[in-house]
A = this chain, B = another copy of it.
């Protein structure tokens, strides 16, 4: 009997329909990245553990998939080491390689390794799977694609502006209405500086974020609970009650942070980005949001996040500026700014809102029905020209019953079926059936190409 077949938990097969949709997502993002001068690179699935370890914190190290050394993997392990049964230590003896955990560390490694060949500012994009030994759950997988673009070697805020344009263009192409939220790490640092609570900045932003839901009084109570001094809470009030247009908010922030050099710098950066984007014009709304905090330990300048407006879903895109991409590999001073589209979530949003263009999910345009060897050979000559005209064309490979061939066309959602029997061959005509309307037409080969090409 059948050997039980399965795949590792947390991984997925993608069938033809899913792949067509995923390709639509990746191709759209690629096209826009390229329009902005980003170039694609790829790095190997496996990196040395030396490259990967210690880059994602202790928890991250545990989530790395490690690859057993080939050959006699025990040769470097002593009997004592085996008996100790120290998993962490033994893993480092048994394995030298691991699967990449994200695209950022491999990219940093790439930049350091190929530094002399690269032209800076270097604009690269990368769309590849990553692997994490996370506990699988709904929407969280052990293998998933990341779609990253980064510019390294330029401090210019024009890069931030262009990344916002990329977000706007991609989601406009998808037909997904989004809200872009933007903030700046320097502003958050400025606030921490002003109120003298540097280490509580995450607690503070979390509390501020609840204002709409729980009201000012409760926000202040929560801040108090978290151990923030009354004096600090007092100084926080202008930030908590921050409202109005982006310009109005910026005005308040700039005034309130007047005595913080870093805070002022952050406010100026946001101001430049928002003003330039206003001049250029975006289709989607961009909002200065002081409660946006993402990845505090990593980012050093602008940070942004994108949410879909018409369906509840977490952040579907995000990114920001970091001062020191390659410092972890001993090459300091290279700053960068990057963006990452969440392909799996975008996939779900497009499904929920039913936004896939029809041509994305349809594959073959016309199926030729097989009435036997002679007819089939005749058809194949017509099909050569169909394909030369770029028309996706199939013939059912066996002279099976009509019903079977028709149900194949239906299952594959093929919109047209071409029938060439004895009569058609004699008259040099092709009967073309529209599978949706049922309408049939007798066409010459040339008429067929013209009709299907469109």
Contacts and interface: CB of A to CB of B under 8 A. Distances in A.
Interface of A: 1-3, 5-8, 11-16, 19-20, 23, 34-37, 39-48, 50-51, 62-63, 65-68, 70-74, 79, 82-83, 85, 87, 90-91, 94-97, 99, 109-110, 112-114, 117, 119, 121, 123-124, 129, 131, 133, 143, 151, 154-156, 158-159, 161, 165, 169, 276, 279-281, 328-331, 363-364, 367, 370, 376-377, 380-381, 384, 387, 390-395, 397-398, 408, 411-412
A398 B367 CA distance: 55
Contacts of A158: 370, 376, 380, 395, 397
Given A67-B65, A97-B8, A393 B36 contact: yes
Contacts of A70: 62-63, 65, 133
Given A13-B114, A154-B398, A276-B380, A74 B68 contact: no
B8 A377 contact: no
5 contacts: A5-B109, A7-B51, A20-B39, A37-B412, A154-B398
A80 to B, nearest CB: 11
Contact of A169 (B79, B112, B387): B387
B12 A44 contact: yes
Contacts of A161: 380
Number of copies: 2
B119 A6 contact: no
B41 A151 contact: no
Q: Report, nearest first, the 4 A-B pairs whose CB atoms are least far apart.
A: A37-B394, A16-B39, A11-B44, A2-B330
Contacts of A165: 384
Given A2-B329, A35-B390, A41-B13, A397 B159 contact: yes
A25 to B, nearest CB: 13
A66 B95 CA distance: 10
Given A71-B133, A279-B377, 15 more contacts: A3-B330, A13-B42, A14-B41, A15-B41, A16-B41, A34-B392, A45-B131, A62-B70, A65-B67, A65-B70, A68-B91, A71-B87, A79-B83, A154-B398, A280-B380
Contact of A143 (B41, B45, B62): B45
Contacts of A73: 87, 91
A151 B398 CA distance: 12
Contact of A46 (B114, B143, B331): B143
A65 B133 CA distance: 17
Contact of A94 (B14, B68, B391): B68
